[in-house]
Structure 1
Amino acid sequence: MNLQEYFASLQGKTVAVIGFGVSNRPLVERLLEAHIALTICDKKSREALGDVVAELEAKGAIWSLGETYLDNLHQDVIFRTPGMRPDVPALKNAKDSTITSEMEVFFSVCPCPILAVTGSDGKTTTTTLIAELLKAAGHTVHVGGNIGHPLLCEADAMKPTDFAVLELSSFQLMTMPHSPHTAVMTNLAPNHLDYHTDMDEYVEAKANLIAHQTADNVAIFNADNEITMDLSHTAKAQVNLFSRQRAVENGVYLQDGTVFVAEHGEVTPVLQASDIRIPGLHNVENYMAAICAVWGLVSPEMIQSVAKNFGGVAHRIEWVRTLDGVRYYNDSIASSPSRTMAGLHAFTQKVNLIAGGYDKQIPFTELGAEIVTHVGHLILCGHTAEKIEQAVLSAPNYEVGKPVIYEATDLAQAVALARSVSKEGDVVTLSPACASFDQFPNFAARGDKFRALVQNLE
């Protein structure tokens, strides 16, 4: 089925789209252009949404707004927003409806091979690297999912020789009835436990990435992560592994500073880890995962060129500025303890760390010990400040004053404190270990604010 055929199949049916956000706007426009009976459901008020309400009403849309926005879900087809659990009462009560999502439909109409990445950490960088490597080799690439922009309404312009490269969250995967041609599982650790009922449900959602693959497909797993290795044994597809700790029979591994590809008994040196421009061993892992995904489509020479020139993704250990010999890095994407620990390991020296934020109910015990080892000055702010401090003070390797701990009321004060306690040669990094929702709408807004604050330092 192609995109036009899909929209044709909706003729004569009623459709509801839940959530009038960025990802659903193109879908709404396309449904209205096809003269499909459409209801847009959003928790915001008519006043909050502004002129767009009357604009789309003039095109035929019906709006269901405010606190009761889900009260009349009975349409033939309902597009669920990824941030909404599929078991909310309103969706469970819509027993006669087909419940889907923009991404689920994209999988069914995409005319080209799909490479998709999921995991707890490293998803965006690995997805971006796969796309950059394919582009460097001359391929036409469409990037979407959690990054890029919505792809569904562009599917009819894609060619079979193109590639779609997707970053997929556990929210998107929870009910996904499709799997990609190439699936990449970067790692799995506790995350989003404020959304998922427990860790088992989180892992089960991630496992949907490979659940519908066939023997002709490829599934790539982190051999150094216990959970992803367990999942690798359930894969129906050809399994490739990547590891920075040991050689693998099929896949990519790191040995003595060189990245090797192992394939059918042959081993090929591809890349020197020291040539990778973006810092940190976790980024070596991201490169290995990406190389695994594109091997055979991109030459070793092209891989080396990208590694030497690609400067990284915003908010992911992004260098912001060097002021009076102090280097400032924006790692706002680090919204989990494991991500922050990876960020701390990216530096060869102790850092001055700004951390804390929204509480996702993830334990900080392991992070506390890592902070003691890798942090000189710890500046905490946000709802989790006290929890992180307790994890540090309770760490078995903690000594009084190591690290020195400060508490700030907000990010502005945290940056000012970091400036005052740092000396030439120091590194300051914003790596919160928490989501941003206590003070910011998302990690990008938090990172943008940090970047602006640092640029304004004198």
Structure 2
Amino acid sequence: MPLKPFLIQDFELKGRLITLLGLGRFGGGVAAVRYLAAQGAQITVIDGKDEASLTDSLQQLESLSQVKYQLGSETHELPKTDLLVVNPAIPPCHPLLKNAEELQIPVTSEMELFWQLNPARVIGVTGSNGKSTTTAMIHAIMQASGARCWLGGNIGISLLPVVDQIQPDDWVILELSSFQLEALNRIQASPQIGVVTNFSPNHLDWHQTVEHYRESKQTIFRWQTQNDFSILNADEGELQNWSAAGKVVRYGAAPDTQLDLLIKGEAFELTKQNYTILPHLNVPGMHNRMNAAAAIAACTCASVEVAAIQVGLKNFEGLPHRLQFVGEFLERRFYNDSLATTPESAICALDAFKDCPIILLAGGSDKKVDLTDFATQILKHSKATALMGETGPVLSELMYNLKERSDVNSSTVISPQQTSFEAAFDWAIRQSGPGDVILLSPGCASYGWFSSFVERGERFVKLFFELNARMRDSTE
């Protein structure tokens, strides 16, 4: 029996008992609680993390008297409730979801609530890699065009608190994770313009199978109409077999040169004669040119003029934690790519600096994906690699095994397993020389050592500035 979807038009929230499962630390849970409280609901928040771990989120809710909490322990039975609101990180196998299914209690999420209340047109972006940057590029272009637009979703911004300010003629640009799309499938929702940057196995600790991960991602097109747009990366073989109800638009590298990107689709065809000239980008790497091509395709479908596309991309400075230039120290350049939580993202980062000696910080928590290609590219591109976290030993074994093969010639220095992030950072400094790039691009999630990729990236930046401070102190 499937989970019962929640349709907001059929449900009066005032006075209802509502349970929120997973408050989290990224704002979506807080936004959902505040919205539900404003509607007059009585709310119980359940989270396996303790109060100390959720301090920032709890402080934002301390003025709400109608909220009760069950924190720091696991429970297998729901309290008496009329509705269950689920954080995207809660896996489908969670016992309270099974409980809701048995009791036929309707289930929703922050994204489903927003979607049903949002009056505006939506550009949605998903993919295993590149979705955050592509989403931000689209938003930058839409801003340059003068359109009234809103940025949110998995990029870390909940739009639920401002949904009453959004107008029908606005554009909402959402980064959509597989978790959020799985939820949107319950209410049969897809964006008017959907973008898929690429596809590779990811989050298998949550989805359990590649098939379930794929089905969740395909929600971005599943409920479109024939008047909507389905934008796909033509260079991704997997995506060529995806079905779409909307007008299919494909973007990719032109056959004659990687620097001349083409976009072709049933709705329009952009060729060398009328294609927007891709401006110089402030973010490095061929993968970012592909992200820009996806953004151009989406904005062209939204009838944005060429001049605005050029201005928006030219002014785009990149995202924090995504190939973010932190600074230079003793002729070494430091880049924070903590948002690279998949092997494919980290491989793109290595490729972006392929002409430079790279000292890499890699590894983290295990999402049960194959790291062989990542290990191969580390050996190919890095001068030295500091191995961290749960996947550190896995990467180490893979790299040493690959080094023993006759077809692999690598002088990469492989660190012992690092016991802390600070130790990994210091080891990387010791291996570096003038002209090197010191790159945090872990290729794995942050959990275990950090609460999020944001905390991990901020720690890297903090250590860099402490390094500079130590140098100043030693010369005074």
* TM-score normalised by structure 2 residue count: 0.86
Partner of 2:198: 187
Q: Is the 8 A contact 1:137 1:297 kept in 2?
A: no
Superposed displacement of residue 316, structure 1: 0.7
Query: Of the candidates 128, 143, 147, which is equivalent to residue 135 of structure 1?
Result: 143
Once residues 402 and 54 of structure 1 are traced to their aligned partners in structure 2, the CA distance between those partners, rounded to angstroms, is 51
**Over the residues paired in the alignment, what is the CA RMSD in angstroms?**
2.5
Once residues 385 and 432 of structure 1 are traced to their aligned partners in structure 2, the CA distance between those partners, rounded to angstroms, is 10
Residue 380 (structure 1) aligned with residue 387 (structure 2) = yes
Partner of 1:416: 426
Superposed displacement of residue 223, structure 1: 1.2
Once residues 428 and 91 of structure 2 are traced to their aligned partners in structure 1, the CA distance between those partners, rounded to angstroms, is 39
SS in structure 2 opposite 1:353?
strand
Paired amino acid for 1:10: L
Partner of 1:389: 396
Query: Of the candidates 153, 166, 173, which is equivalent to residue 165 of structure 1?
Result: 173
Q: Which moved more, 1:264-273 or 1:146-155?
A: 264-273
Partner of 2:40: 35
Once residues 457 and 35 of structure 2 are traced to their aligned partners in structure 1, the CA distance between those partners, rounded to angstroms, is 33
Once residues 278 and 49 of structure 1 are traced to their aligned partners in structure 2, the CA distance between those partners, rounded to angstroms, is 34
Once residues 174 and 265 of structure 1 are traced to their aligned partners in structure 2, the CA distance between those partners, rounded to angstroms, is 32
Paired amino acid for 2:144: A
> Unpaired runs of 5+ in structure 2?
1-7, 472-476
Residue 18 (structure 1) aligned with residue 21 (structure 2) = yes
Once residues 90 and 144 of structure 1 are traced to their aligned partners in structure 2, the CA distance between those partners, rounded to angstroms, is 28
Residue 441 (structure 1) aligned with residue 451 (structure 2) = yes
Residue 427 (structure 1) aligned with residue 432 (structure 2) = no
Paired amino acid for 2:414: I
Deviations along 1:102-123, whole A, 9 cap, x unmatched?
A: 1012112211101111111111
SS in structure 1 opposite 2:195?
strand
Once residues 158 and 44 of structure 1 are traced to their aligned partners in structure 2, the CA distance between those partners, rounded to angstroms, is 34
SS in structure 1 opposite 2:28?
coil
Residue 353 (structure 1) aligned with residue 360 (structure 2) = yes
Residue 80 (structure 1) aligned with residue 86 (structure 2) = yes
Residue 370 (structure 1) aligned with residue 370 (structure 2) = no
Q: 1:321 to 1:364 in 2, by over 3 A?
A: same
Residue 264 (structure 1) aligned with residue 271 (structure 2) = no
Q: Is the 8 A contact 2:344 2:374 kept in 1?
A: yes
Residue 204 (structure 1) aligned with residue 215 (structure 2) = yes
Once residues 152 and 216 of structure 1 are traced to their aligned partners in structure 2, the CA distance between those partners, rounded to angstroms, is 26
Once residues 386 and 269 of structure 1 are traced to their aligned partners in structure 2, the CA distance between those partners, rounded to angstroms, is 47
Paired amino acid for 2:173: V
| Count of residues in Structure 1 that have an aligned counterpart in Structure 2 | 443
Paired amino acid for 1:412: E
Q: 1:380 to 1:26 in 2, by over 3 A?
A: closer
Once residues 89 and 141 of structure 1 are traced to their aligned partners in structure 2, the CA distance between those partners, rounded to angstroms, is 39
SS in structure 2 opposite 1:387?
helix
Paired amino acid for 2:130: G
Once residues 366 and 117 of structure 2 are traced to their aligned partners in structure 1, the CA distance between those partners, rounded to angstroms, is 38
Q: Which moved more, 1:192-201 or 1:51-60?
A: 51-60
Query: Of the candidates 94, 99, 103, which is equivalent to residue 107 of structure 2?
Result: 99
SS in structure 1 opposite 2:386?
strand
Identity of aligned pairs, percent? 32
Deviations along 1:407-443, whole A, 9 cap, x unmatched?
A: 3322222222222222222111111111111211111
Partner of 1:113: 121
Q: Is the 8 A contact 1:44 1:65 kept in 2?
A: yes
Paired amino acid for 1:405: I
Q: 1:385 to 1:6 in 2, by over 3 A?
A: same
Residue 217 (structure 1) aligned with residue 228 (structure 2) = yes
* TM-score normalised by structure 1 residue count: 0.90
Superposed displacement of residue 405, structure 1: 1.4
Superposed displacement of residue 47, structure 1: 7.5
> Unpaired runs of 5+ in structure 1?
248-254
Query: Of the candidates 306, 309, 314, which is equivalent to residue 312 of structure 2?
Result: 306
Once residues 361 and 164 of structure 1 are traced to their aligned partners in structure 2, the CA distance between those partners, rounded to angstroms, is 33
